[in-house]
Amino acid sequence: MNAGPATGRPSTKERIMSAGAELFRRQGYTGTGLKQIVAEADAPFGSVYHFFPGGKEQLGAEVVRTSGAAYGRLFTAAMDGAPDPVTGVRDFFAGAGRTLVETDYADACPIATLALEVASTNEPLRHATADVFTGWITLGTAAFTKTGIGEREARELTIALLSALEGAFVLSRALRSTEPLEVAGESVAARASALLASPAAPDTTA
């Protein structure tokens, strides 16, 4: 039962989770083999089935939930560290763009590739991704509500933000350009700004 934080390398389970998270994020679920994961983690093959008796599927589910939660904290940090929500949104998209460029367009959303792959083929994993997305929506709605935006508007703004972010990741990775991420970020920032200006508008679409 080594949680191994103080000194030395992380525990075997942690190394397997980290390697799995990185590879699933970059190559997807079916595109990543357990052999590759244990090689990257420098862990014995059998340990996978020691820590994850459910095999690859259980490892995938735990990775999805763990890195999903971590990414949610990244969003919260950006919002909390900004003077206003519009700046927070801009900071978050800018940070995502920086990470993308620094990793040569490899590290975008930690679960999107896997989510698309399993949406129609693996119900337990689909459910894990759905839980993460639901958590992000709850989280974003709370953050925007705190700034004076109405409950309904805050939820829709969050969903629009996540959609724009995920879609921009798809385009940016394929095109190897940060332009989609920048345009999407500005688009969401503009919408957030409009909602802050008219706090009680019942309909902002027309």
Partner DNA sequence: ATCGTTCTTGATAGATCGATCTAGCGATAG
Partner DNA sequence: CTATCGCTAGATCGATCTATCAAGAACGAT
What span, in angstroms and rounded, lies between the C-alpha atoms of 3 and 11? 6
DSSP state of 11: P
- Residue 147: name its binding partner from DNA, a copy of itself, none (Cβ under 5 to 8 Å by kind): none
User: CB-based contacts of 108: which residues, under 8 Å, 6+ apart?
Assistant: 25, 96, 99, 100, 169, 172, 173
* Terminal C-alpha separation, the chain: 58
Site for DNA in 20-39 (CB under 7 A): 32-36
d(CA 30, CA 117): 8
In the chain, what is the greatest distance between 2 CA atoms, to the nearest angstrom?
59
Q: What are phi and psi of 203, to 5 degrees?
A: -150, 120
**Inter-helix orientation angle 55-80/34-41, to 10°:** 60
Q: Which of 35, 73, 84, 121 binds a copy of itself (CB under 8 A)?
A: 121
Q: Calculate the dihedral angle through the C-alpha atoms of 48, 54, 56, 58, rounding to the nearest 10 degrees.
A: -100
Contact partner, 140, from a copy of itself, DNA, none, Cβ < 5-8 Å per class: none
Residue 121 or 134 having the CB closest to DNA: 121
What does the block give as tokens for 38?
A: 């244990």
Residues 41-100 that bind DNA (CB under 7 A): 43-51, 55-57
Of the residues 54, 70, 98, 130, which one makes contact with a copy of itself according to CB under 8 A: 130
Residue type, 113: T
Pick from DNA, a copy of itself, none: which does 168 bind, CB < 5 to 8 A by kind? a copy of itself
Q: Does 168 bind a copy of itself (CB under 8 A)?
A: yes
In the complex, minimum distance from the CB of residue 44 to DNA, in angstroms, rounded to a whole number: 4
Question: Which residue among 34, 82, 116, 139 contacts a copy of itself (CB under 8 A)?
Answer: 116
Q: Which stretch binds a copy of itself (CB under 8 A): 7-15, 27-35, 54-62, 72-80?
A: 27-35
Residues between 52 and 81 with contacts to a copy of itself, criterion CB under 8 A = none
The Cα 151–Cα 159 span in angstroms is 13
Binding positions for DNA, rule: CB under 7 A: 1-2, 11-13, 32-36, 43-51, 55-57
Binding positions for a copy of itself, rule: CB under 8 A: 26-31, 104-106, 112-113, 115-117, 119-121, 126, 129-130, 133-134, 156, 159-160, 162-171, 173-176, 179-180, 183-184, 186-187, 189-191, 193, 204-206
